[in-house]
Chain A
Amino acid sequence: MQSSAASASASRKLDIGPAPADSPGVGAAAMDAAKSALLVIGLATPIVLIETKQSGAGVALEWRFGLVAVLAAIAALARFIHLTVVGPRVRAMPASNMAGRFSPGTVTWIKRFALVFVLLYPFIALALAGKGGAIKWIDNFGIQLLIYVMLGWGLNIVVGLAGLLDLGYVAFYAVGAYSSALLAKTVGLSFWLCLPLAGIFAALWGILLGFPVLRLRGDYLAIVTLAFGEIIRLVLINWVDFTGGYAGISGIPRPTFFGLPFTAGDDGFAAFFGVSFTPLHRLIFLFYLILALALLTNYVTIKLRRLPIGRAWEALREDEIACRSLGIDTVMTKLTAFAMGAMFGGFAGAFFAARQGFISPESFIFMESAVILAIVVLGGMGSQLGVAIAAVVMIGGTELLRELDWLKDIFGPGFDPTKYRMLLFGLAMVVMMVWKPRGLISTREPSIALHERKAISGALVKEGHG
């Protein structure tokens, strides 16, 4: 009920002018569409209409009436279709249908199918795309996606379970990446030692961040964590002796297959197993490594949810004062949530450093934090499956933009679809807000049951106040 009411009110807010909310006639819809077009013209006039072009020594103005007209036409058409076709259909959909479209059994099957698919993914990619084409599919789509799935799951502990809004999660990712890179390069530790150490360092930084922000809630917590993320990035840029500044750290040792490097040499992985050398070996290995790390994150989170600490996190999200009245040490509970989330971010960072072989502060900008947070929020706070789906859609979707080269035939050679990444990101968020304000999977799974486990409607679950 809640979600349908929310979406109805959201769509009412979008109405411009006095058009009635419930299925207007074609004439009224046309009027409304015309108003939308006028609004776009008003907005576009100062922003789009005039373009400055370098001509010789001076600047020439170019008027783009055509472009403004096209934008206005698109807005009018979209509004018209929304009012006459899409809107009535969405309203006709019963609310319960939208909340519980999948039965718990179906969800279990989706999870199993997804797991088998991911386990076989490199070989499916090889079979379908061949040796040359598979590199892109395993690296850009497989490994890249799984890093974000893992980061999403890690942040889910802090934001989704404990309800603490963390806008600086990328800082822990950076701490993990830099500590593992520096340990590998300066001390010469192997990747398998760097990985746990990176997690421990990140967890320590999580506790360090946790202490000052314990008293803060909501917006204030968000701002301080945001600042923390920026501090870490600025330190990485300016402490040139230690971190290399903007130049970053290059030549980070690649992970080995339990001591066997992925090289063409005689002591390499290929020679040891008697197969011909190909860079795909390393990629497939990295794929399974990040898959194992992501599944570990998932497994530990699921386990923790059923332990007292996990229940305390969720109780903290629901009501902090009630927690204190039940004898729960909220300071420790918050710190463990920060430390746990940070630790998995650190693991992901260590993997990132080893995979890239090169890291610089460029990789740890605020945008990354925002994307990871968007994944958690869009997925449905607290839902492991929802976060995984959101990561695949958000990151996979933007990666797919690189594949749309044929659009250049339509819009001219200067058209770069990847430039529209953020536009699509924003659009996806607005659509989600209207359609499912509590995220893809908004129901909560109880951690313990006496008779039968029933999913809890998202309307009752609180988001936390920091």
Chain B
Amino acid sequence: MSMQAEMPLLVVEHLTMRFGGLVAIDDLSFAAHRGEITALIGPNGAGKTTVFNCITGFYKPTVGRIALAHDATTTQTDLDRLTNSGDRWRKADGRGLYLLERMPDYEITAKAKVARTFQNIRLFTGMTVLENLIVAQHNALMRASGWTVLGLVGARRFKEAERAAVERATFWLDLIGLTLRADDPAGDLPYGDQRRLEIARAMCTGPRLLCLDEPAAGLNPKESLELNTLLRAIRDDHDTAILLIEHDMSVVMEISDHVVVLEHGAKISDGTPSHIKNDPAVIAAYLGVDEDEEEAAEAEIEGLQSGLDHGGAR
């Protein structure tokens, strides 16, 4: 790491998570870079969502360091100094450096600027689409409302901040094509729209890292394509890197710049999509092979990886 001139956005080192006797993640290290879409893939039960929950503070990891550096000029020395100081985060000259494993979940979003979505959508179903996006901007609005005092007396500062918040919400509504449904309850939206709204809501927190837990689950091929476009737009236009868990290989191979493969809580491969696609360990563990190539592949895999089971064609 110290060899590298530039520190990646997210550096996960020796992450281990045990639930009693069960080792969900076993000494996992990987990095997610600025301006990239990093995919975290693996068979069911590989520990992907647990990694997410550790990064976003919903779980406290048993062992490991999860560092997030907003600025590329942050060095390993900065990171070591922060780690030894016992502080949770340090922000000097606009260069924020955060140790996520030490921070409570809401601070990770509020300060370290990491936003997430959930495998089973968690929208505020009884609130309108617009309200969902306004709630996501809570911290900025709270400051503008002078922790409610200024807001109660109807201060101009708050009104302007609220207008800006609505503008930001409208921008995202336009992007996901839900402007006309802004005043409908979020629970009334079709499934695909709810998925996109959850991503837009996470983006309204102004994240540097967006963690998406199976964003394409349950989407039809057309919606899947739209999702790819949306995720690329987020990566290219918003200074937001994406870390995503996905089972839909058409999404993963199409849009990711970098793929990390997990099995049984440990990393089995790490690289570009084409590298992953040709890695025998991954093929064996996860991707499977086409039916007509099955026999040849099996023979090849048996030769290479005698210990691993065949994952089955997907």
Contacts and interface: CB of A to CB of B under 8 A. Distances in A.
B122 A308 contact: no
A97 interface: no
B148 A449 contact: no
Interface stretch (B42-50, B103-111, B250-258, B261-269): B103-111
A461 interface: yes
B126 A462 contact: yes
Contacts of B116: 325
A327 B205 contact: yes
Interface in B160-193: 162, 166, 170, 173, 179, 182-185, 187-188
Contacts of B130: 446, 448-450
Contacts of A327: 106-110, 138-139, 205
B201 interface: yes
B301 interface: no
Contacts, number: 134
A19 to B, nearest CB: 36
B135 interface: yes
A330 to B, nearest CB: 7
Contacts of B184: 454
Contacts of B40: none
Contact of B105 (A325, A448, A460): A325
A462 B152 contact: no
B135 A450 contact: no
A300 interface: yes
A315 B184 CA distance: 16
A329 B109 CA distance: 10
Contacts of B183: 446, 449-454
A328 B106 contact: yes
Nearest to B187: A460
A460 B201 contact: no
A314 B173 CA distance: 21
A449 B107 CA distance: 29
A136 interface: no
Contacts of B58: 321, 324
Contacts of B127: 311, 314-315, 318, 444, 446, 456
B166 A450 contact: yes
Interface residues of B, number: 46
A262 B201 CA distance: 58
A447 interface: yes
A326 interface: yes
Contacts of B182: 449-451
A326 B123 contact: no
B166 A448 contact: yes
B124 A322 contact: yes
Given A327-B138, A329-B106, A307 B148 contact: yes
B59 interface: no
Contact of A303 (B105, B106, B152, B188): B152
Contacts of A451: 182-183
B125 interface: yes
A280 interface: no
Interface string A279-318: 0000000000000000000001001100111011011001
B148 A309 contact: yes
B166 A319 contact: no
B115 A315 contact: no
B142 interface: yes
A457 interface: yes
Contact of B128 (A308, A319, A449): A449
A461 to B, nearest CB: 3
Given A300-B152, A460-B187, A322 B123 contact: yes
Contacts of A457: 185
B141 A308 contact: yes
B38 interface: no
B56 interface: yes
Interface string B9-30: 0000000000000000000000
B98 to A, nearest CB: 13
Nearest to A333: B138
A325 B151 contact: no
Contacts of A322: 118, 122-124
Nearest to A314: B127
Contacts of A330: 106
A319 B124 contact: yes
Given A319-B122, A447-B131, A450-B130, A326 B205 contact: yes
A309 B152 CA distance: 11
B242 interface: no
Contacts of B145: 307-309
A407 B212 CA distance: 68
B135 A312 contact: yes
A322 B141 CA distance: 18
Which among B105, B131, B158 has the greatest number of chain A C-beta atoms within 10 A?
Answer: B131
Given A324-B106, A450-B166, A311 B126 contact: no
A446 B131 CA distance: 8
A315 B110 contact: no
Nearest to A321: B122
Interface string B270-305: 000000000000000000000000000000000000
B126 to A, nearest CB: 3
Contacts of A446: 127-128, 130-131, 183
Contacts of B243: none
B82 to A, nearest CB: 21
B245 interface: no
Contacts of A462: 125-126
A300 B153 CA distance: 10
Contact of B109 (A315, A319, A326): A326
A450 B108 CA distance: 30
A283 to B, nearest CB: 32
Contacts of A454: 128, 183-184
21 contacts: A307-B148, A309-B142, A309-B145, A311-B127, A311-B134, A312-B142, A315-B124, A315-B135, A318-B124, A321-B58, A323-B135, A324-B105, A326-B202, A327-B107, A328-B139, A446-B128, A446-B130, A450-B170, A452-B183, A454-B128, A456-B127
Given A311-B127, A325-B118, A325-B122, 15 more contacts: A307-B145, A309-B151, A311-B134, A314-B124, A315-B127, A318-B127, A319-B122, A319-B124, A322-B122, A325-B109, A325-B115, A325-B202, A326-B106, A329-B106, A444-B126
Interface of A: 300, 303-304, 307-309, 311-312, 314-315, 318-319, 321-330, 336, 444, 446-454, 456-457, 460-462
The 8 A-B pairs of least Cβ separation, nearest first, read A461-B126, A327-B109, A327-B110, A318-B124, A460-B187, A322-B122, A450-B182, A308-B141
